[in-house]
Amino acid sequence: DIQMTQSPSSLSASVGDRVTITCRASQDINNYLVWIQQKPGKAPKSLIYDASSLQSGVPSRFSGSGSGTQFTLTITNLQPEDFATYFCQQYHNYPLTFGGGTKLEIK
Amino acid sequence: EVQLLESGGGLVQPGRSLRLSCAASGFTFSYSAMSWVRQAPGKGLEWVAGISGSGGATYYADSVKGRFIVSRDNSKNTAYLQMNSLRVEDSAVYYCAKNSKLAARAPVDYWGLGTLVTVSS
C-alpha cells in the first residue's frame, strides 16, 4: 500500500497569513493526488485534484503543487472559514490512501 | 446541484449486517464512479470501497474485503454498501462520494453528508 505522510499534523496561524501543508507519498504517484478540507462535524470537501487543479467554486487563495512523491497545499491570505483539517489522498493505486491530516487552528 | 444522500446507518450488534444506500442527483449517475469512505470518531479518513460507473469493476480496502459488497443501480441513481459480519472497529461515519470520472481510480469531487454506523453489543 502507498503510505501518505502529512506534515505538520497541526498548525497555528492568523487571518491573513500564508500557510503550506506538505504531503509525501511512499512511492511515485505521478500527480494523482487530491486535497480535502473538513470542518468539525461536517462532510469533507474536495479542494484540489490532480495535485494542482482547483475544484470548481474553490477560492483561488488555495493552490496545490508537486508531482511524484512530494506535494504541497498552500493557502494565501487565510480567512476565518479556512480553519479546518486538511487531508491529502492518492488515487494512483488501490487501496486509495489518505494522509493523517493537518489541523489548521487560529493563533 | 450535485446531491448525495446516505441512509441506512444505525446501531447494530457485532456479527450482524447493515446496508447503506446513497441516493444521487444533479449529475449523470452512470457517468461517475462512486466511492465509500469512512471516518471513525476523532480519526482520519479511510477509503472503504469503490465501484466504476457501469458497476463492472469493484475495489475494496483489505479491512473490509470479503465482508462488504459495493454495488449500484444506475436506473435508480443509487449506490449501496452491504456490510456483513460487522465488527466494533467498523463503527464510523460512512460517506458516499462521487468520483469525477467513470473509473473508480479517479478523484472524488463531491461528498455526501454521511451516515453513522455504530457496532456495539
B14 prior amide bond cis, ω within 30: no
Residue B87, pLDDT > 90, answer: yes
Question: Is-contact B99 A46, C-beta < 8 A?
Answer: no
Q: How far is B42 from chain A (nearest CA, A)?
A: 10
Q: Which of B114, B92, B80 is nearest to B46 (CA)?
A: B92
Considering only CB atoms, B44 lies closest to which of A45, A94, A98, namely: A98
Considering only CB atoms, A95 lies closest to which of B61, B109, B112, namely: B61
Ranges of chain A whose pLDDT falls below 70: none
Q: What is the pLDDT of residue B103?
A: 82
Residue B105, pLDDT > 90, answer: no
Mean pLDDT across chain B? 96
B112's grid cell: 455526501
Half-sphere exposure of B13 (CA within 13 A, CB side): 3
Do residue B108 and residue A101 have CB atoms under 8 angstroms apart?
no
Q: Which of A75, A1, A3 is nearest to A35 (CA)?
A: A75
Nearest residue of chain A to residue B97 (CA atoms): A44
Q: What is the pLDDT of residues B16-38, one digit of tens each?
A: 999 999 999 999 999 999 999 99
Q: What is the pLDDT of residue B104?
A: 75
Q: Which of B85, B84, B91, B87 is nearest to B70 (CA)?
A: B84
Confidence band (pLDDT; 50, 70, 90) for B109? very high
Residue B42, pLDDT > 80, answer: yes
Specify the length of chain A in residues: 107
- Give residue B107's identity as a one-letter amino acid code: P
